[in-house]
Structure 1
Amino acid sequence: MTGTDSASGRSVPRRLRHHVGVIGLVYLGVCAALLGWALVVTAVDSSGESMAGVIPVLATAPGSLVFLVLPDSAAVFVIAIVLGAGANAAIIGWCTRALRRGGRTS
Structure 2
Amino acid sequence: MSNNSRIQRTLSLAFVNWFARGYLVVCCALLIWTWVDSTFVEHPDASLFGVVPLLVTAPVSLVLVALPGPSALLYAAVVVGALINATVIGWCTRTLQQRGAARR
TM-score range, shorter chain: 0.7 to 0.9
Partner residue of 1:74? 71
Instruction: State the match for 2:85 in structure 1.
Output: 88
Q: Tell which has more relative contact order, 1 or 2 (C-alpha 8 A, sep 6+).
A: 2
Q: Deviation per CA, 1:43-96: give whole Å up to 9, x if none.
A: 223546111111100100001001001235331010000000001000000000
Identity %: 44
Query: 2:22 maps to what in 1?
Result: 26
Which structure 2 residues correspond to residues 1-106 of structure 1 after superposition, within 5 A? 18-20=12-14, 21-43=17-39, 44-47=41-44, 49-71=46-68, 73-102=70-99, 104=102
Matched positions, count: 93
Distance 1:18 1:68, change over 3 A: closer
SS of the residue 2:47 aligns to: coil
Unaligned runs of at least 5 residues, structure 1: 1-7, 9-14
* Cα distance in 1 for residues equivalent to 2:98 and 2:12: 14
What is the RMSD computed on CA atoms of the aligned residues? 2.7
